[in-house]
Amino acid sequence: MINISDLSVRIGQRSILSDINIEIEDGKWTCLVGPNGAGKTTLLKSLLGSLPYSGSITDNGVEVFRNHDRNVAFVPQHPQIPIGMGVGEYVMMGRSKRDGWGNESSHSRKMVVDILKLTGLFGMQSQHVSLLSGGEMQRALIARALVQEPTLILLDEPTSALDLHHQISVLNNIEILKERGVTIISTMHDITLAAMYAEKIVVMQEGKVLLNGTSDFVIHSPELKSAFENRINVYTLDSGRPVIVANKDLTS
């Protein structure tokens, strides 16, 4: 259980997050949704320990920021792509924390090959990362996260900039992580997809948590509409799945 209490982040004079209080269950997929600038990415960075914050984030009672041995994988929205690096080498970087930088055990090499096969990247290991398509790059990032054998994985907009076909393939890859008992926290633009895959949804607005609960609860809350300034409508399909669509009539 990750417990976030009274979390606030300021950058200069600007308050990015204020008084965030949420609990994140182990082994579940929690999705952060909300408009741009709501503080979703900042919340992910605080969980990674790369940003100074006030308040506390504890993982099973241990203050996360002070526990550097924690193995947290991070899939960024805009990765920095090392020019000239091969896919195999790139994914192998995920083992650095386990093996120690500069070492690669035969166990790690075997694991990297297995994960490349699992994510459909096997055969491309010597291809340059810079030449990958958007969908392939996203899968390479998830492959790197998988070989990290993390207890927690943070994904920043894993499906943005992908077409529907690749969105689904990436989301299925994330499901593989969940089956391995990994706790997943992601941000996502598409609430319909979020509701379909994630068990928990946290709706954020202007640095605060507006709604927090199971996907069903959040999707059907009237507050969800107000978070998006009543610009969305929620429909339920015959199968019971919710669908969120933009509301064209802005005056409603």
| Binding region for other proteins (CB under 8 A) | 45, 48-50, 68, 72-74, 76, 78-80, 82-86, 88-89, 92-94, 96-97, 101-102, 104, 109-110, 112-113, 122-123, 125-126, 128, 131, 148, 154
| Residue placing its CB nearer to other proteins in the complex, 136 or 219 | 136
Range list of H helices, the chain: 40-48, 87-92, 96-99, 106-118, 134-147, 164-179, 191-197, 215-219, 222-227
Q: Which is nearer to other proteins, 89 or 206 (CB)?
A: 89
Alpha-carbon distance of 234 to 14, in angstroms, equals 33
Could you write out the DSSP letters of every residue in 175-211?
A: HHHHHTT-EEEEE-S-HHHHHHH-SEEEEEETTEEEE
We find the least distance from the C-beta atom of residue 96 to other proteins, in angstroms, to be: 5
Taking the complex as a whole, how short is the minimal distance between the CB of residue 134 and other proteins, in angstroms? Answer: 17
State the angle between helix axes of 164-179 and 134-147 in degrees (0 to 180), rounded to the nearest 10: 10
Closest distance to other proteins from the beta carbon of 125 (Å)? 6
**Which of 107, 180 has the CB closer to other proteins?**
107
Choice between 109 and 231, CB closer to other proteins: 109
The phi, psi pair for 217, rounded to 5°, reads: -60, -50
- In the complex, the smallest distance separating the C-beta of residue 73 from other proteins, rounded to whole angstroms, is 6
